[in-house]
Amino acid sequence: MLGQAKVEERIKYALSLSNAGQTEVVLLGETEQLTRFANSHIHQNVAREDLDLRVRVVLGSKIGIASTNDLSDAGLQRVVESATAAAKPQQDNPDFVSLPAPQPIPEVAGFVEATANCRPRARAEAARSICLPCREQGLNASGAFATRSYEYAVGNSLGILAYYPTTLADLRTVIMSDTGSGYAAACSLDVGEIDAESLGREAIDKALRSRDPLDVAPGEYTVILEEDTVGSLMAYLAYMGFGAQALQEGRSFMVGKLGQKVAGEHITIWDDGLDSANLPMPFDFEGVPKQRVEFIAHGVVKGPVYDSYTAGNEEGKRSTGHALPAPSDNGPFPWNVAMAGGQATKQEMLASTEKGLWVSRVHYVRPVHPLRTIVTGMTRDGTFLIENGEIAGPVKNLRFTQSILEALSEVEMICRETKLTREAFMENFIGGMRVPALKIGRFAFTSATEF
């Protein structure tokens, strides 16, 4: 960690080196330590510290970008020169309006010393608390425990200067028996909130209950989707349509649907970077404070997130504070998504289900038809048949090919509790999905696998 004073000094120095009409400097600093285990022992154990300083210069409206991880005076001189050299041979970009002007940024407390100072020994003890019980029970423990500290800072020639340090502890484990597996995960700003032993028990329980799975025929089923599954689906729904660039290009499911009902009336999904129940981030990578943005409210489409570039392309729009570091191929993106909880418990969902499938988690989800929000993926680490309101037994994994919005139109029950999940493709920055478990009346499974 460089600290606020050093970071701001370097940003101001880099800005001072630029003769461009407008200049932006973004610093992304990360220190990560991760302990990984498999076959019930620690097999990979790593530490990394890096920072990425990105300069964006605007000459007229030609935009050049360069980055470095050398923060010396010479390194900053070179990166500003490179950004300028990148801009010069271009033509003016008629869609560019301006870098953002400063706005007040709320204070957010996102840094926990204990997480930043977590040592390898502590992570190894956590891994041991999962591995040893597995060895005793003839199970195979695997997982990863990461502790990270971040420094994010943005400055620009219009006066923005924003700095935010934060931390993240993230533990995930997969426990395998000969014929089954179970998964558990938790993440928090505070490493003290990660109870490795408890996560191990949760995954072991599911691994034991998923032994000797039976075949079940693909088809449409009533499903209970646990939070990790819902989180994955929400992440891909966001990817397929919560950003303004996709809407403006005609590629978002929101096209032609603003103000229309696309999901059940109890479905409300939003993004809020200031939400302390998520992993908060007070500003985006242009230094614009994050606003709460509703995507779907009571089943009705409200709108996407914007950065300054996409806002400039639409009359009456302003940045909602969702810019990614330039250049961003996909435009603005929400990183702190939440879905409203309901009234039910998981036990009540189960008891109300005559026949269905319980899906703990999904794997390798990918878009198939973005406008119809159709995705495909596999179930994983604990899929169970439900009969007469009870878990009848484990089943082999199934492939689903399903429209997310159609599924959200068939939601029968929503769990009261919500859980914070993180999808793999969102690992680059701080943030997650806070979502409830759902009972859905119809969900399409199109094939099965052998385990």
Partner 1 sequence: MNELATRALNLAQTKGARYADIRLVVLETESLVVKNGIVEAVSLDVSQGFGVRVIAHGAWGFASSARLDRETVDEVTALAIEIARASAMVSGEEIDLGPPEVHVDTYNTPTEVDPFQVPLGDKIDLLLACDEAMRRTEGVAVAEGNMLFIHRNQLFANTEGSLIQQETTETGVGLVATAVGQDEVQNRSYPNSFGRHQGTGGYEFIERYDLLGNAERLGEETVALLSARQCPSGVTTLILGPTQLALQVHESCGHPTELDRALGTEASYAGTSFLTPEKLGSFQYGSEIVNITADATLPGGLGTFGYDDEGVPAQRSYLVKDGIFVGYLTSRETASRFGQRSNGAMRADGWGSIPLIRMTNINLEPGDWELEDVIADTDDGIYMEMNKSWSIDDKRLNFQFGTEIAYEIKNGERRDLLKNATYAGMTPQFWGSCDAICNEKYWDVWGTPNCGKGQPSQVAHVGHGASPARFRNVQVGVMK
The correct pick among 11, 14, 15, 144 for binding partner 1 (CB under 8 A) is: 144
Q: Residue 336 Cβ, how far from partner 1 at the closest point, in Å?
A: 20
Query: Does 67 help bind partner 1 (rule: CB under 8 A)?
Result: yes
Q: Residue 343 Cβ, how far from partner 1 at the closest point, in Å?
A: 32
Residue 143 or 282 with smaller CB distance to partner 1: 143
Q: Residue 148 Cβ, how far from partner 1 at the closest point, in Å?
A: 9
Interface pattern 104-133 for partner 1 (x via CB under 8 A): ---------------xxx-xxx-xx--xx-
The residue range among 28-36, 221-229, 310-318, 338-346 that interacts with partner 1, by the rule CB under 8 A, is 28-36
Question: For residues 414-426, b (16+ Cβ closer than 10 Å) or e, as one string?
Answer: bbeebbbbbbeeb
Contacts with partner 1 in 261-320 (CB under 8 A)?
none
Q: Residue 277 Cβ, how far from partner 1 at the closest point, in Å?
A: 25
Contacts with partner 1 in 74-93 (CB under 8 A)?
78-79, 82-83, 85-87, 89-91, 93
Query: Does 211 help bind partner 1 (rule: CB under 8 A)?
Result: no
Query: Does 45 help bind partner 1 (rule: CB under 8 A)?
Result: yes
Q: Residue 254 Cβ, how far from partner 1 at the closest point, in Å?
A: 13
The correct pick among 168, 233, 365, 433 for binding partner 1 (CB under 8 A) is: 365
Q: Residue 347 Cβ, how far from partner 1 at the closest point, in Å?
A: 29
The correct pick among 154, 378, 413, 420 for binding partner 1 (CB under 8 A) is: 378
The identity of residue 279, as a single letter, is L
Query: Does 330 help bind partner 1 (rule: CB under 8 A)?
Result: no
The correct pick among 48, 73, 258, 390 for binding partner 1 (CB under 8 A) is: 48
The residue range among 14-22, 153-161, 173-181, 290-298 that interacts with partner 1, by the rule CB under 8 A, is 173-181
The correct pick among 9, 46, 179, 277 for binding partner 1 (CB under 8 A) is: 46
Query: Does 399 help bind partner 1 (rule: CB under 8 A)?
Result: yes
Interface pattern 404-433 for partner 1 (x via CB under 8 A): --------------------x--x------
Interface pattern 224-263 for partner 1 (x via CB under 8 A): -------------------------xxx---x--------
